[in-house]
Chain A
Amino acid sequence: LRLIYTTTVVQRRNVAAAGPEKYTEAFIKKQIEEFNLGKRHLANMMGEDPETFTQEDIDKAIAYLFPSGLFDERARPMMKHPTEIFPEKRQIQWGEDGRPFHFLFYTGKQSYYSLMHETYGMLLNVQEYQDQMSAQDLPPEKEKKNLPGSRWLTKMELEEMLLEKLSDHDYSRFIQLLQKMVALPYGSNEEKYMQKFSKEIATQLQKVVIDPLQYDERGVAFSTAEGQRKTARATVVVYDNGSGKITVNGVDALHYFPVLQDREQLMFPFQFLDRIEKHDMICTVSGGGRSSQAGAIRLASAKALKSFVTEKEVEFMRQAGLLTVDPRLRERKKPGQEGARRKFTWKKR
Chain B
Amino acid sequence: EDRLISEPLGHPDYFNVKELFSLKDLFDARVHLGHKKGCRHRFMEPYIFGCRLGQDIIDLEQTMQHLQLALNFTAHVAYRKGIILFVSRNRQFCHLIESTARACGEYAHTRYWQGGLLTNAHVQFGPGVRLPDLLVFLSSLNNVFEPHVAIRDAAKMNIPTVGVVDTNCNPCLISYPVPGNDDSPAAMELYCKLFRMTIIRAKDKRRQREVFEELQ
Contacts and interface: CB of A to CB of B under 8 A. Distances in A.
Interface in B75-129: 81, 83, 85, 95, 98-99, 101-102, 105-109, 111, 114, 117, 122-129
Interface of A: 11, 13-15, 17-19, 22, 92-94, 97-100, 103-109, 113, 117, 120-121, 124
B156 interface: no
Contacts of B160: none
Contacts of A13: 127
Interface residues of B, number: 26
B53 to A, nearest CB: 33
Contacts of A124: 95
Q: Which 6 A-B pairs have the closest CB atoms?
A: A98-B130, A103-B102, A13-B127, A106-B109, A107-B109, A107-B111
Contacts of B114: 108
B132 interface: yes
B28 to A, nearest CB: 24
Given A13-B127, A98-B130, A121-B95, A104 B109 contact: yes
Nearest to B112: A107
A323 to B, nearest CB: 54
Interface of B: 81, 83, 85, 95, 98-99, 101-102, 105-109, 111, 114, 117, 122-130, 132
A97 B95 CA distance: 28
A320 B185 CA distance: 63
Contacts of B127: 11, 13-15, 18
Given A18-B126, A103-B107, 5 more contacts: A99-B81, A99-B130, A106-B109, A106-B132, A121-B99
A104 B98 CA distance: 8
Contacts of B107: 100, 103-106
Contacts of A117: 95, 98
Nearest to A13: B127
